Amino acid sequence: MEAIEQAIRNALAKSDANNPAIRQKIYESAWGAHERSLAANGALDDDQREDRRERLKASITRIEKEIQTEGTLTPPPAPAPVAEKREPVLSRETIQPLQPEEARVEPSLGIVSEPEFDTPETVSTDSVTADNYRPDRLRPRLQRKAEHRKASGLTKLLIILAMLAIALGVLWLVASGIINSKPSSVPPSTGNPAASDNHEPLKEGQLSSEGTWITIFDPSDSTRVSVAGRATASVDGDQLEKFLRIKSPSEADDVNFEVGEGVLEQLMGKQAVFDIIAKTEDGTSTQIAVSCDFGTLGDCGRTRFDVSDANGEYLVQKQFPTDKKPSGGGVIKINSDVSQTGKSVDIISIRVQIAN
């Protein structure tokens, strides 16, 4: 457990330890790695696993308390210096010549008497083999150890088979579409809609828990993103979370996210909810404007949202007509700063839900 605490301290020392969000990510990463280690170690029972979890909680609590009380984190201790190994140096005066009579001492063999016991043990007259070279009184214990090893190996095999079955089951659920393979990283909320030129955004709690999700944008594929005017868009982030950082210097500098014609065909005649997951840089806030153009299927007006540095979901709904077909793909347009001061916004994901 000292090694895990040392790893946490090293990670905090290399980052901004005064940022609660960064500390939370490091704690969650350490906890996840510890849970995977416990799951892979079949030799531990439930009590031992719970004990290790409590010890890790205590380490995290101790580090967090140290940061909050002292305002800083004690740097990890430097490794102890390695002492240089020196070979002994012998001088001629140190080496004493051996006298002839002291050069060799011959060992003398005496007669050692056999120990006496009150009750002598019966000595087997059978020939010594690999099966009976140990005393008879040790054989039951050896048998128990052998049985324990066999049982332990069988338990590990059963655990591996169970984990494999669970993994296959999860893959089947994802492949069949029962489980969404890319769930939202934050709970559903509509953020703070500031104003709307048309098509009022959904109110709190109106996002249905049922329906089909279709991904429109993911940071791993930015080929369907284009910019207008002086707008910029670039993929950024870390191993925990990737995002597309967009910037609109003026009102006409929108960033466009392509909606494929096949997606629009699935939305014909249905009520759809567009979900934009976004945030700003740490310690900043801005007001974004969202609009869309779906060609013959119409648009979704222009909606404004107040965005903070915490992940939030910003929802826009649209009823698609039943008597029209898409003539091509469409776009969702986002302006990162309605005040035109050049503030940026991080787009984490865009998806649409088809209400049942």
CB-based contacts of 193: which residues, under 8 Å, 6+ apart? 201, 303, 304, 305, 306, 314
Q: Is 299 helix (H, G, I), strand (E, B) or coil?
A: strand
CATH numeric code, 192-354: 2.60.120.260
Contact in structure between 225 and 255 (CB atoms under 8 Å): yes
Q: Which of 273, 304, 269, 274 lies closest to 198, judged by CA?
A: 304
pLDDT in tens, the chain (356 residues): 778 888 888 888 888 888 888 888 898 998 888 888 888 888 888 888 899 899 988 989 988 888 888 877 766 555 555 555 555 555 555 445 445 444 455 544 444 444 444 444 444 444 443 444 444 554 566 667 777 777 788 888 899 999 999 999 888 887 765 655 444 444 444 444 444 444 444 444 455 556 678 999 999 999 999 999 999 999 998 888 899 999 999 999 999 999 999 999 999 999 999 999 999 988 899 999 999 999 999 999 999 999 999 999 999 999 999 999 999 999 999 999 999 898 999 999 999 998 75
By C-alpha distance, which of 323, 262, 336 is closest to 297? 323
DSSP 35-92: HHHHHH-TT--HHHHHHHHHHHHHHHHHHHHHHHHHSS-PPPPPPPPPPPP------T
Q: Which pair of structure tokens corresponds to residue 336?
A: 């990162």
Gap between the Cα atoms of 49 and 338, Å rounded:
52
Do residues 335 and 248 lie in contact, with contact meaning Cβ atoms separated by under 8 Å? yes
Contact call for residues 217 and 276 (beta carbons, < 8 A): no
* 179: three-class secondary structure by DSSP: coil
Beta bridge partners of 12: none
